[in-house]
Amino acid sequence: MKLIITICFFLLMTVAAGDATLSEKTTKCPFRYLYHFGDGVTDIGNSIRVMPWFDMPAKKYPYGKTYPGWPTGRWSDGLVDFDYTAIDFGLPFIVPYLSMDRYTRYDGVIFSVARSPVLDHSFFKSKGVVIPPYAVSLGGQMNWFRKYLQSICLKPKDCVERLENSLILMGDIEGNDIGYLLTQGKTILEELIRLGATRIIIPGNGPVGCVPYILTALQTNDPTAYDDIGCLKTVNNFIVWKNDNLQDAIENLKREFPKITIYYGDMYEGPDRNNMALKSCCGIGGKYNYNSKRVCGDKGVPVCPNPDRHIYWDGIHFTQQAYYTMEHLLVQPALGSFNCTSKLLSAVM
Query: How many CB atoms lie under 10 A from the CB of residue 130?
Result: 8
30 binds ligand NAG (CB under 6 A): yes
DSSP run (H or E) holding 289: none
Phi-psi region of 322 (alpha: psi -120 to 50; beta: other; left: phi over 0): alpha
* Burial tier of 224 (Cβ tally within 10 Å: 0-12, 13-18, 19+): exposed
245 binds ligand NAG (CB under 6 A): no
Q: Please tell me what DSSP assigns to residue 286.
A: T
> Which residue in 338, 341, 343, 345 binds ligand NAG (CB under 6 A)?
338
Q: How far is the CB of 338 from ligand NAG (least distance, A)?
A: 5
Say how far apart CA 108 and CA 168 lie, in whole Å. Answer: 10
Say how far apart CA 2 and CA 5 lie, in whole Å. Answer: 5
Say how far apart CA 163 and CA 79 lie, in whole Å. Answer: 26
Backbone angles phi, psi at 65, to 5 degrees: -55, -50
Which residue number, 6 or 261, has a Cβ lying nearer to ligand NAG?
261
> Which residue in 14, 176, 245, 261 binds ligand NAG (CB under 6 A)?
261
> Which residue in 199, 279, 310, 317 binds ligand NAG (CB under 6 A)?
199
Which residue number, 31 or 75, has a Cβ lying nearer to ligand NAG?
31
Say how far apart CA 336 and CA 326 lie, in whole Å. Answer: 18
> Which residue in 150, 234, 252, 339 binds ligand NAG (CB under 6 A)?
339
Which residue number, 29 or 214, has a Cβ lying nearer to ligand NAG?
29
* Inter-residue contact 84 to 327 (CB < 8 Å): yes
Q: How far is the CB of 197 from ligand NAG (least distance, A)?
A: 12
Q: How far is the CB of 347 from ligand NAG (least distance, A)?
A: 22
Q: How far is the CB of 331 from ligand NAG (least distance, A)?
A: 14
Give the number of residues in contact with ligand NAG, rule: CB under 6 A: 5
Query: How many CB atoms lie under 10 A from the CB of residue 143?
Result: 13
Letter string b/e over residues 258-286, b meaning 16 or more CB atoms within 10 A of that residue's CB: eeebbbbbbbbebbebeebbbbbbbbbeb
93 binds ligand NAG (CB under 6 A): no
Q: How far is the CB of 333 from ligand NAG (least distance, A)?
A: 14
Which residue number, 263 or 318, has a Cβ lying nearer to ligand NAG?
263
Q: How far is the CB of 261 from ligand NAG (least distance, A)?
A: 4
Q: How far is the CB of 301 from ligand NAG (least distance, A)?
A: 45
Residues near ligand NAG (CB under 6 A): 30, 199, 261, 338-339
